[in-house]
Amino acid sequence: MSPSADCVAMVRAVEGFAATAYPDGAYHSIGYGHHGPEVAVGGRITQDEAARLLVVDLETVADKVSRLVRVQVSQNQFDALVSLAYNIGLWALEKSTLLRYLNAGEHRKAAGEFKRWNRVRGIPVSGLTARRAKEEALFRKGE
């Protein structure tokens, strides 16, 4: 599966645009959450360039999410998983209870796990809480 246009639009909205690279944990991000070895302090990007990078980044995440999910999911459920994985990292999704529930066919339990991913260093963050609520609602539309 590939992320839908609605998925791309949602991630753009929740990530927000940053024209200048900024520290984001152990690395720097730019645009709509893009990071990589080419992103350096002081780097700049246009919204058009950032939008193109986001599509490429989401396709990469989607490919890996497709390999992790072993059950049938709807487009909405897939889009919610791609948005989550783009934000928390594929390694975190791979180890998550959410994925374990999903692959066991327990979609409702999996949906309830989105809200657990709203913390940074153990502290709830309102922006992540709002994002997870959007992702969970999108995931539940696919049930």
Q: What residues are labeled active site?
A: 15
Could you tell me which residues come within 8 angstroms of residue 111 by beta carbon, excluding any fewer than 6 positions away?
136, 139, 140, 143
Dihedral Cα 23, 33, 46, 55, nearest 10 deg: 160
The residue written with tokens 């809480």 in the block is: 129
Distances (CA, A) of 45 to 25, 29, 40, 93, 129: 20, 11, 11, 29, 28
Q: How many whole angstroms separate alpha carbon 56 and alpha carbon 58?
A: 6
At residue 35, φ and ψ (nearest 5 deg) are -145, 160
